[in-house]
Amino acid sequence: MSDAATMSPGGRALNNSLVMTARSLRLSSRNVDAVFTSLMLPIMLMLIFVYLFGGAISTGTGEPYVAYVVPGVLLLCAGFGSSGTAVSVNEDMKGGIIDRLRSLDVAGAAILAGHVASSAVRNVVSTVLVLGVALLIGFRPTPTLPGALAAAGLLLAFIIAISWLAAAVGLLTGSPEAAGAFSFFMMFLTYPSSTFAPIATMPSWIHGFAYNQPVTPVIESLRGLLLNQPVGTDPWVALAWCGGILLVAVGLSGRLFRNRTA
């Protein structure tokens, strides 16, 4: 009765990944609280920084503070959004659903790909919302068309890389609560970067880390591309980081998945 036998292995993997993505999106749509929280926090942070602290922060760019802070908020938002992935992967591993999926011969990669793809969809939606709010409070980006596409592509690459990293964290942690702490990790990665203030204004002992961690080149690239300013090699460094994180996360999560289901 089943077409599974006649489907090519690639076709089956794609079919299964799509079904798992649809599942994951459906589950997110029924967990609006969590999605809403992961969206509200970055937007609140943006409003707080723009209206409360923004006046005190000199970015040295001549742009209004909102233009400075938006790229970082987009990343923060992606970080919070993907911590939902860590939680759902962790919850999946605790229940009987993984055994059922494996006995239907669904590969671990398809299960994780479903989580990551739905995380990407959620994050695209929240990115649009954050940009909407930013426009309302005076953000006026001036990208060229290629610049806008490059920014979108880079942000998507970042989202996918850290979503897959979040999936690995979900496999690594023992409880959904611990998995949820991934959002703190993302917060502590964005604060010592040029998210809210130029790194040059921070104490010098942190410069080495702040300049050379993955979030900074992504933010610098997005800021440059959105405001149509020169970006130098930042986009390439950023892409290399995303590719490296993705590679490590995919390898690590594959290993962890096998270990946890052996």
Contact residues for another protein, defined by CB under 8 A? 1-5, 7, 12, 15-16, 19, 22-23, 26-27, 30-31, 95-97, 99-106, 261-262
Residue number with CB closer to another protein (142 or 261): 261
Q: How far apart, in whole angstroms, are the C-alpha atoms of residue 156 and residue 66?
A: 22
Q: Which is nearer to another protein, 1 or 136 (CB)?
A: 1
Residue labelled with tokens 């950023």: 238
Question: What b/e readout covers 101-138, taking b as 16+ CB neighbours within 10 angstroms?
Answer: beeeebbbbbbbbbbbbbbbebbbebbeebbebbeeee
CB of 22 to another protein, least distance (A): 8
Q: How far is the CB of 6 from another protein (least distance, A)?
A: 8
Least separation in angstroms between CB 96 and another protein? 4
Closest separation in Å from C-beta 10 to another protein = 14
**Of 19 and 187, CB closest to another protein:** 19
Using the minimum distance from each CB to another protein, give the nearer residue, 105 or 177.
105
| CA contacts within 13 A on the Cβ side of 110 | 21
- CA dist., res. 139 & res. 222, Å (int): 14
Q: Is 98 left (phi over 0), alpha (psi -120 to 50) or beta?
A: alpha
Comparison of 101 and 186: residue with beta carbon closer to another protein? 101
- Shortest distance, position 9 Cβ to another protein, whole Å: 10
Q: Tokens 């920014």 — which residue? A: 151
